Amino acid sequence: MRDIFTEIWATARRNKLRTALTGFSVAWGIFMLIFLLGAGNGLINAQMQSTDRYLASSMVAFGGRTSKPYSGLGSGRGISLREQDMATTDSVFAGVVGDVGAVYDHGGVTLSAGANYMAGQTLSGVYPVDRDINKTEVVEGRFINDIDMRERRKVAVISEDQARELWPHGGSPVGKYVKADGLMWRVVGVYRGDGMMKASDVYCPHATVCAIYSTDSRVGNIEFTFDGLETEQQNNDFEADYRAKLNLNHSAAPDDDNAVWLWNRFMDNIQMARGMGILRTALWVVGLLTLLSGVVGVSNIMLITVRERTREFGIRKAIGARPWSILRLIIIESVVMTTLFGYVGMLCGIAANEYMNATIGRTEVDTGLFKATMFVNPTVGVDVCIEATLVMVLAGTLAGLVPARRAARVRPIEALKEN
């Protein structure tokens, strides 16, 4: 076996250009497959991270504006969701709907603590379920609870950014007071913001905020969890039925989609998963085609190699070499070449993905609502890298098998006539 490897090395040294081209074809195919899959995984992971910001089995209802006349009333009427709509959500759809809450926002508030203040903040009246629906991470203290709601306490949960601005010298803000619109609110918790809109919200009990700012039973946006809606059709049917019931509460046409807007996070996830599946398939197709180009390159070069060495093989057979020894030599040469350069391509692809992860993978983009990472873990598993390399090795072996069989069958007298 050592003699075979020595001979392969000597052949490679005599044919540097041919060896380089063969190696480049193999390495480039492996590299592009791993690089493309890594970049695609980075995009997919970033999108999945964005959709994971909310509870998948949750829905939010927003008041809109009627787009068609109904029951003697014209179009263009503004719809504000009220307590009656919450009661409809909780009672009529009790078999599907779980926890029900609402969000009432009062913006343009200036927060202050001593000499420090922040303008343009929002008092957001929420129910305790809001923490689960929007996956709010409380890093200190607690979130709004049922007792706060029942007793209409003036308590607040502020963001880390607000805590740093109002108490720049450090220390826990829990138990301290902030002033907003002339009222003192006791801080009971601190949550982790997203660097954008969410970081400017001050979470307070919904009942307290509505008692202060809502004078006509408006509740803001209704949010709730649901269970049992597992298919796209079930979700569409529920949305149509739920919208019709809420529309009737406001004398709007049951089929008026603009009167009440629905944000169904489950449907968002279905559509996102479908899009990511298409993207993943496209990346695999492009990667495999690139890999195939490397296989074709190896095949062509192996054919040329056998053609150039026909006279050599004839001499080998003339002095007693068996067909199997020639066949084995060509196959081993093909395996060694594809394995060596496939490994080089694999290492380059992994290095490129790691570099992308360390640079672009940490770049944030401003979506207008929150900051999102462009790429999240743009890498591929070691198993994919090894499998791609093995595919190239197998393909290179098969590519060398066809010309090897032809070379092993050639008659010495015919081979010696070759120039």
The residues that bridge with 226 in the sheet, in sequence order, are: 97
- pLDDT at residue number 366: 55
**Cβ pair 251, 40 in contact under 8 A:** no
Decide if pLDDT at 187 tops 90.
yes
Amino acid letter, 187? V
Q: Which helix (H) or strand (E) holds 163?
A: helix 160-166
pTM: 0.68
- pLDDT at residue number 79: 92
> What's the rounded Cα separation, in Å, for the pair 144 and 201?
13
Mean pLDDT of 303-307: 71
Decide if pLDDT at 411 tops 90.
no
Mean pLDDT of 367-373: 53
Domain boundary assignment for the chain: 2-52+270-416, 63-265
- pLDDT at residue number 159: 92
- Measure Cα distances from 380 to 37, 42, 154 in Å: 7, 9, 50
Mean pLDDT of 308-315: 71
197-210 per-position pLDDT tens digit: 566 899 999 999 99
**pLDDT above 70 coverage of the chain, percent:** 84
Mean pLDDT of 101-126: 92
- Measure Cα distances from 71 to 63, 152, 261, 381 in Å: 19, 38, 20, 61
Q: How confident is the model at residue 369 (pLDDT cuts 50, 70, 90)?
A: very low
